[in-house]
Amino acid sequence: MSKVAAGKVISIHYTLRDDDGDVIDRSGHEPLDYLHGAGNIVDGLERALDGKAVGEAVKVSVAPEDGYGERDDAAVKIVPRSAFPAEIELEEGMELGMEDGDGNAMPIWVTEIAGDQVTIDLNHPLAGATLHFEVQIAGLREATAEEVEHGHPHGPHGHDH
């Protein structure tokens, strides 16, 4: 019997709601694939799915510390427009993939643009939020060696590169 475990690619249908019950995010027609145990999804959800079987439905509320973290007001900064490459068309609400000093991917969000002043936020937009997930496990398979090495699934619903 195959169960959700580290090193497997799991396909899930999910709905994510906030405290008011409003839908924040959901899988589309196709399920989302992720590599279990690789931090592709938030910790609290990964733990809740561990050991579950295909076809099982899981309902879990994930606190901020097991989700996208608490909000850190010090992570909001105002920087000049010139800090960004000129070819990037900045828009409020957009996510930018930056790198930290060690070359690790570090997403930031543009929250406000006022003239030459751009407000950026290193907090995930869902930082501080309790995440209410309803998940259906649609399928699973063993990850390939390449997927384990990359830390994400490949294929039609996985990472595209």
List residues near Zn ion by CB under 5 A. 150, 159
Q: How many CB atoms lie within 10 A of CB 99?
A: 9
Quote the CA–CA distance of 37 and 64 in Å, as a whole number: 19
Residue 51 CB, shortest distance to Zn ion, in Å, is 26
Residue 43 CB, shortest distance to Zn ion, in Å, is 21
**Pair 120, 110: CB distance under 8 Å:** yes
Residue 150 CB, shortest distance to Zn ion, in Å, is 3
Alpha helices by DSSP H, listed for the chain, are: 43-49, 145-150
Residue, CB closest to Zn ion: 150
Q: Which residue number, 124 or 152, has a Cβ lying nearer to Zn ion?
A: 152
Residue 105 CB, shortest distance to Zn ion, in Å, is 13
Q: Which residue number, 3 or 150, has a Cβ lying nearer to Zn ion?
A: 150
Question: Which two tokens mark 1?
Answer: 């019997």
Backbone angles phi, psi at 64, to 5 degrees: -50, -40
Q: Which residue number, 6 or 57, has a Cβ lying nearer to Zn ion?
A: 6
Residue 133 CB, shortest distance to Zn ion, in Å, is 25
Backbone angles phi, psi at 69, to 5 degrees: 85, 170
Q: Give the three-state DSSP class for 21.
A: coil
Q: Which residue number, 52 or 152, has a Cβ lying nearer to Zn ion?
A: 152
The single-letter code of the amino acid at 140 is L
